[in-house]
Amino acid sequence: MAENPDRQGVNRALARLLDWPEIARSPQLARFLSYIVERQLAGEGQSIKAYAIAVDVFGRPSDFDPQADPIVRVQARRLRSLLDQYYRGPGADDEIQIQLPIGRYVPEFVTAERAISFEAATEAPDASSTAVAGEEDLTQAAKAPAPRGHVTVSWFVLLVLAVGAAALAYSLSTVDTRREQTVVASGALQPPRLRVMEFQNLTGDSSITPAISALAVELVTDFESLLIVDGSLGSRSGGEGTADFSLTGIVRGDPLSPQNYQVGAILIEVATNSIVWNWSMSVPRDQLTRRGGVDAISRELILLLGGTRGPLHDRARELLSQGSIEGRENFYLCGVLFSMYRTTGSVGLAERVRSCVSGLPESERDNGNVIAGLASLIAEGVGEGDNALLTLDDRLAEADELMDRAVLADPTSSFVWEQRARLDEMLGLHDIAESSYGTALQINPSNIDAMAAHARHLALIGRLDAATRAAQRAISSVPQTQIPDWYYCVPSMAALYEAEYRRALSYAERCASSDVELGSILALLAAQGTGDAGLVDRQLPRVLEVPSFRQAGILSRMRERATDLALIERIATGLRQAGVPESSLGSPY
């Protein structure tokens, strides 16, 4: 360290952080932070290693293998993000700041003056921009064609990651390509493996080279976060022949915007040495050196590439689209199936998820992600199987019990917390749902389904502006052919409030195919806005036939889902104008 603030000052800084609600609500992160600070103050910084943290803080056994269970890297990334959030906000004026550099577990204690200078320094930026700041940087960036030629790269990072197991955690998604299926001896398709390589600096400005190197580190960390927190099988290092894909790129001057740099990336299929995906974006020159700027670029890449709706998982999607995988079930394929269910909401895919899970070894069926996925299927009543005769309340109660088990089994899974949040929302526990969505996105900011589901919830509790930004972010991160219909619920609400009724109706029709409650209501209100009685007559029967509305009453059910009084009043007025009897608004019919 360049300086050594006094012990009492550091302890005061630590106490303030531990009292901050965002850290206080996570006992594991609080212990992690206390542990590394106390060891550093004791002069034992050299002994702060992943193994020691895993055993002493997270209770891992003495035979813990950091390569197979990278929980420490995941939690370190969460802690970095929270530290940055704190010092951007409530701790901005703190005399001493506690920082955790990228790729290390040894904290640094710096004065406020030095902390400010870090933001302009050329050392690797802290991996912790807030979600909102990252979105603003990226949504304002102009897109340009990506490079398609061969790019010579140095081997800065040679990590082969089992990224496919992110399928179940990242809320899971898909797309299509030309790859043939790769099947191991057992017949089960395995997760794809990715090699992340250093991006090359072609700007001529050597001062930003450390920041560009940090981008590769951030990508590795982000991909591993998807794996580890969402129940992966762990990362594996390997040589030239072990990766299925390699990801690399360049940073160069932007010929169209001299004040910007252009960041480009390509995904290469190793077996054929062909480019299967490419991307580029124009960013302000200072983004590569500002605090959190590199993290924002990394997050954009992960949003577009990391989930199962991206090109890394084409083989799995192709295999699953061909029919049954009986006898070849594994955790990865069950996760991709759940992703496909989340995309379409179909009964057939829900039953295929159940069938896949039943074919897993008993040990894998106890995985937190598996339990949470099954709990969601029960709560949502799609392809119910043995639960076909249960009432909504009974289904929710059974799902709640399972979801508690899932959280206990894997408390660091973004997927588990996303399903927990969805269930809390269905139970009408809106404050708790917000907290659960926050946890899911804190663990994995690139969980697109959690982002979209959170956006829908924000809209229902009266925060439509924030909801619209998040929903558009989610929609823009998924290939057009793979966007789930329920992503359009928030755009429908936004268009409705802007009196763009035809657009609102178009979006509501899509929303209703997956979220029949909200979508059918929005479609009716939009039809009324057009003044077309025929459209109203077409939409009203769908509202009246929603099973949950028939069981509880239309307004009674919507009051469980929404706390925005203005929205509820608008729904009530619209239903009355459409001729719905008052008795059907608040009671079963």
What per-residue confidence (pLDDT) applies to 270?
86
Confidence of residue 377 (pLDDT cuts 50, 70, 90): very high
Lowest-pLDDT range, 197-206, 305-314, 548-557?
A: 305-314
What per-residue confidence (pLDDT) applies to 171?
34
DSSP string, 307-349: STTSGGGHHHHHHHHTS--TT---HHHHHHHHHHHHHH--HHH
Of residues 487 and 198, which shows the higher confidence score?
Answer: 487
What per-residue confidence (pLDDT) applies to 314?
86
Asked if 236 and 193 count as a contact pair (C-beta separation under 8 A), the reply is yes
Residue 134 in this model has a pLDDT that exceeds 60 = no
Report the 10 Å Cβ neighbour count for 150: 10
Residue 156 in this model has a pLDDT that exceeds 70 = no
Q: Which distant-in-sequence residues (6+ apart) come within 8 Å of 144 by Cβ?
A: 254, 256, 262, 280, 281, 282
CA pair distance 128, 24, nearest whole angstrom: 18
Lowest-pLDDT range, 200-204, 392-396, 513-517?
A: 392-396
CA pair distance 491, 489, nearest whole angstrom: 6
Residue 154 in this model has a pLDDT that exceeds 70 = no
Q: Which of 134, 141, 482, 100 is nearest to 302 (CA)?
A: 134
Residue 558 in this model has a pLDDT that exceeds 80 = yes
Confidence of residue 74 (pLDDT cuts 50, 70, 90): confident
Segment 275-305, tens digit of pLDDT: 999 999 999 998 888 877 888 888 888 888 8
What per-residue confidence (pLDDT) applies to 211?
87
What per-residue confidence (pLDDT) applies to 386?
56
Q: Is the dihedral of CA 30, 31, 35, 36 positive or negative?
A: negative
What per-residue confidence (pLDDT) applies to 68?
62
Domains and CATH numbers, the chain: 7-118 (no CATH), 139-309 (3.40.50), 447-589 (1.25.40)
Confidence of residue 244 (pLDDT cuts 50, 70, 90): confident
Lowest-pLDDT range, 38-47, 157-166, 220-229, 454-463?
A: 157-166
User: Helix %, strand %, coil % for the chain, to 5?
Assistant: 60, 10, 35
Tokens 């704190």 locate to 86
* Residue range 385-414: mean pLDDT, rounded: 84
Residue 382 carries which DSSP code? Answer: S
What per-residue confidence (pLDDT) applies to 289?
82
Q: How far is CA 384 from CA 112, 376, 399, 551, in A?
A: 57, 11, 12, 17
What per-residue confidence (pLDDT) applies to 161?
36
DSSP string, 79-132: HHHHHHHHHHTTTTT-SEEEE--TT--S-EEEEHHHHHHHTTSSSPPPS---HH
Confidence of residue 443 (pLDDT cuts 50, 70, 90): confident
Q: Is the dihedral of CA 424, 427, 428, 429 positive or negative?
A: negative
Of residues 307 and 246, which shows the higher confidence score?
Answer: 246
- Helix runs in 391-500, H state only: 392-409, 414-426, 430-443, 448-460, 464-476, 489-497
Return the bridge partners of 263, or none: 251, 281
CA pair distance 420, 453, nearest whole angstrom: 12
CA pair distance 431, 457, nearest whole angstrom: 11
* Residue range 485-511: mean pLDDT, rounded: 97
CA pair distance 464, 198, nearest whole angstrom: 40
What per-residue confidence (pLDDT) applies to 173?
35
Q: Which of 185, 226, 152 is nearest to 444 (CA)?
A: 226
Q: Tell me what the pLDDT averaged over the chain comes to.
A: 81
What per-residue confidence (pLDDT) applies to 215?
85
* Residue range 85-103: mean pLDDT, rounded: 87
* Residue range 242-247: mean pLDDT, rounded: 84
Tokens 């303030």 locate to 16
Percent of the chain residues topping a pLDDT of 70: 80
CA pair distance 337, 329, nearest whole angstrom: 11
Residue 122 in this model has a pLDDT that exceeds 60 = no
Of residues 128 and 263, which shows the higher confidence score?
Answer: 263
Segment 180-231, tens digit of pLDDT: 333 333 457 888 888 888 899 999 999 899 888 888 877 876 664 433 222 2
Look up the pTM and report it: 0.69
What per-residue confidence (pLDDT) applies to 228?
26
Tokens coding 95: 């005399």
CA angle 218, 221, 223 (to 5 degrees): 105
Return the bridge partners of 50, or none: none
Q: Which of 329, 338, 324, 138 is nearest to 230 (CA)?
A: 338
SS3 label, residue 436: helix
CA pair distance 32, 46, nearest whole angstrom: 16
* Residue range 549-578: mean pLDDT, rounded: 94
SS3 label, residue 136: helix
What per-residue confidence (pLDDT) applies to 114?
57
CA pair distance 14, 179, nearest whole angstrom: 51
What per-residue confidence (pLDDT) applies to 252?
94
CA angle 267, 272, 273 (to 5 degrees): 50
Q: CA gyration radius for the chain?
A: 25
Confidence of residue 72 (pLDDT cuts 50, 70, 90): confident
Asked if 306 and 444 count as a contact pair (C-beta separation under 8 A), the reply is no
Lowest-pLDDT range, 89-93, 137-141, 504-508?
A: 137-141
Residue 52 in this model has a pLDDT that exceeds 50 = yes
Of residues 221 and 347, which shows the higher confidence score?
Answer: 347
